């Protein structure tokens, strides 16, 4: 049993969606002409760029409350950038900004959402990049030494998983049959990671 299988067994098969969601975000960003501005999460006092957009679950329920993009920036297709903080194990909205035509950010204030609002519409996982870039890339996205995976249910932090880059790629490999393009692609990335480790 390889480390990735051990990891998946440890966290349970339902957690496999951690990697599916993260991988799909990476694919969508690489397909877009412009890489999208990430949302920001402050966790344990450290600021991280995140690859999911928790406010999208809120705007799915309240579409008329979605901010309009004040500019024409193709790197902000969702129309806003949100900043959150994990406070007392709750996902809290700090602010939302839009980009104006002049390229400056403008903070949004209205009666719908405000500082300190818990995002209880969000259930899912956030992958936080930790450590240095390994020098191996998934498309245009670098692979980092470690990942902190936050499992969130209705805005509440319920589990935290710390994994390294090898476990991360091994777990993605588990998603595909061994005759698929994806299996060969991620196996090659894993080989690159191990080869690079051997050269350091």
Tokens of 81: 């950038």
* pLDDT, tens digit, 9 for 90 and up, residues 127-174: 898 889 998 888 778 889 999 999 999 999 999 999 999 998 998 899
Predicted TM-score (pTM) of the model is 0.74
Q: Give the three-state DSSP class for 120.
A: coil
Report the distance separating Cα 77 and Cα 35, nearest Å. Answer: 10
Neighbouring C-alpha atoms within 13 Å toward the C-beta of 39 = 28
Q: 76 and 68 in contact (C-beta within 8 Å)?
A: no
Q: Within a 10 A sphere around the Cβ of 155, how many other Cβ atoms?
A: 20
Cα–Cα nearest to 37, from 9, 75, 4: 75
pLDDT tens-place string over residues 180-198: 999 999 999 999 999 988 7
């Amino acid at each position: 049993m390889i480390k990735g299988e051990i990891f998946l067994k440890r966290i349970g098969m339902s957690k496999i969606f951690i990697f599916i969601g993260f991988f799909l975000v990476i694919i969508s960003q690489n397909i877009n002409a412009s890489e999208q501005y990430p949302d920001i999460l402050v966790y344990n006092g450290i600021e991280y760029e995140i690859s999911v957009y928790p406010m999208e679950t809120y705007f799915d329920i309240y579409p008329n409350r979605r901010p309009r993009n004040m500019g024409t920036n193709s790197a902000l297709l969702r129309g806003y950038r949100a900043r959150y903080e994990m406070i007392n194990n709750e996902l809290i909205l700090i602010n939302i900004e839009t980009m104006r035509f002049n390229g400056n950010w403008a903070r949004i204030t209205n009666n719908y959402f405000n500082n300190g609002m818990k995002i209880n519409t969000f259930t899912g996982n956030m992958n936080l990049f930790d450590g240095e870039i390994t020098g191996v890339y998934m498309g245009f996205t670098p692979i980092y030494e470690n990942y902190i995976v936050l499992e969130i249910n209705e805005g509440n932090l319920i589990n935290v998983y710390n994994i390294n880059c090898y476990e991360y790629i091994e777990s993605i490999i588990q998603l595909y049959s061994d005759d698929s393009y994806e299996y060969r692609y991620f196996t090659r990335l894993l080989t690159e990671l191990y080869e690079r480790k051997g050269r350091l």
